[in-house]
A and B are shown apart, each in its own frame.
Chain A
Amino acid sequence: MALHATHRDAGQVTVVDLSGRITLGDGSALLRKTIRGLLDEERKMILLNLADVDYIDSSGIGELVSGYTAVKNKSGDLKLLHLTKKVRDLLQITKLYTVFDVFTDESTALRSFTNPAAA
């Protein structure tokens, strides 16, 4: 299933709703384009909603890391919301679960951008 991405603003935070697979090729490219596009618009607080992403390969993981680094380099923040079991397991075995801020509740995630203590 190809990756689809839409985004919506929630105050200073942009929530990106993703669905499909983040894999080598179009999926990774779309994620890159979406994050870079938001950064170009000075939207630096990004919450990736992965509720409907059930598959990520090493290329997709690399793109998540690349996006995270790009956002951090612009003094922004990129966080993850609603991981599926497979994606959570992947982030755990690659130790990236310790790198990303991961949330199971959107309102808590949104608050964490302005109030880090909420994380």
Chain B
Amino acid sequence: MTFNTKHLEMTLETQVESVNLAEEMCLRVAEAAGFGEDDCYRIGMSVREGVINAFHYGNQERPDKKIYLAVDFTADKMIIHVLDEGRGFKLSDVPDPLAEENLLSTSGRGIFLMRAFMDEFDVVPGRTGGAEIVMSKKLPSSGSASPNGQGGQSATPQQEA
């Protein structure tokens, strides 16, 4: 795969294997785009969490539903879209995993991690009626990027998840 590509997309089955596949694909693209090791880890983890979210919460692990992954490059950032075929959700409805009462929850940290690891993060209504996660990372060559792996929001998310 060459880095001349500006747009990539793939349709994934709703199965556990899709999580690893999506992560590996985006890791290769991120490496080709020049991201450092730490940023690649953060991008890979965020893609992973986005697809887990689509697999488990969005599509309810139903194999008849699909997950749509797309990667776009603008002049200064890598943008990742993860779309499911669920019912969608509002970010404001997602419990804060850092709240005392949620610390021992066994789930609910995926959104938080994506917010922590990416420069921009949002969830919008998708064309399928499901949720579309849109997240981005500034390219290393764009000046304000994070060649040492420190994400824009670093390890301190600015919004509650």
* Contact surface of A with B, Cβ cutoff 8 Å: 23-25, 57-59, 61-63, 65-66, 68-69, 86, 89-90, 92-96, 98-99
Minimum CB–CB distance from A41 to chain B (whole Å) comes to 23
Give the residue of A65, A89, A93 whose beta carbon is less than 8 angstroms from that of B104: A65
* Given contact pairs A58-B107, A62-B107, a sample of 16 additional A-B residue pairs in the complex whose CB atoms are under 8 Å apart: A23-B20, A23-B48, A24-B16, A24-B19, A24-B52, A57-B48, A58-B52, A63-B106, A68-B104, A69-B104, A93-B113, A93-B156, A94-B98, A94-B109, A98-B103, A99-B104
Inter-subunit contact B103/A58 (CB<8 Å): no
Asked if A62 meets B109 with Cβ closer than 8 Å, knowing A57-B49, A89-B155, A93-B116, the reply is yes
Docked Cα-Cα span, A94 to B49, in Å, equals: 15
Main secondary structure of the interface of A (DSSP, over half): helix
Smallest beta-carbon distance B70→chain A, Å: 21
Chain B neighbourhood of A58, CB < 8 A: 49, 52, 107, 109-110, 113
Provide the bound-state CA to CA distance between A99 and B98, in Å: 12
- A95 and B98 within 8 A (CB): yes
User: Nearest chain A CB to B59's CB is how many angstroms away?
Assistant: 14
**Chain A contacts for B105, CB-based, 8 A:** 62, 65
Residues of A within 8 A of B104 (CB): 65, 68-69, 99
- Chain A's closest residue to B156 (CB) is A93
Pick from A61, A69, A92, A98: contact of B109, CB under 8 Å: A61
